[in-house]
Amino acid sequence: MTAESEFCVVVRRNDSLGRQGRWSVFAALALVSIAVASVVAAAGAWPVLPYSVLELMLLAVAFRCIERRAADWERLVIAGDRVIVEWSAEGQSRRREFNRLWVRVECAEQRTASAGGRIPVLSLHYAGEALEFGAALPVAERVALAKDLRRRMG
């Protein structure tokens, strides 16, 4: 197998803050929220405090959900006559291997739940099943990857 016959693409979510940065932002928001709620409570509007605590709990849950998904990744490798797709989501890894000549690449638009818009979804079809790939990619990169994969798979 030569270097020209191999292709690999890895897709990861954008985690620009990182774990430490994310929780530093949370701490700063919590500090401001509790400070404002304390000042308002001292002025006599004490019911603000439980709402501030509820707000921080919901924000912590949201940040935790983001953190759980931040480490997700997908990898597609074309090596010789094989197409290998691996992905890890929420700590569980999976791997599928296909015959390169029998894989069909599609980039069809699908309706989204928000505002009835349509976005292209890249999928690999093999033996009657469809495997979505590259959901974390921006739309333009997903379309470009679909074209590149079609060309490479012949």
Segment 14-71, tens digit of pLDDT: 888 888 999 999 999 999 999 999 999 999 998 999 999 999 999 999 999 888 888 8
What tokens does 138 get?
């921006």
The owner of tokens 């296909």 is 98
Q: Are residues 54 and 105 in the same domain?
A: no
Q: Are residues 51 and 78 in the same domain?
A: no
Q: Range of 28's domain?
A: 18-70
* Number of folded domains that form the chain: 2
Residue 124 class from Cβ within 10 Å (0-12 exposed, 13-18 middle, 19+ buried)? buried
Q: Are residues 34 and 106 in the same domain?
A: no
Helices 48-70 and 18-42: crossing angle in degrees, nearest 10, is 170
Angstrom distance (rounded) from CA 117 to CA 124: 22
89-126 pLDDT, tens digit each = 888 899 999 999 899 999 888 756 565 677 889 999 99
Q: Are residues 82 and 126 in the same domain?
A: yes
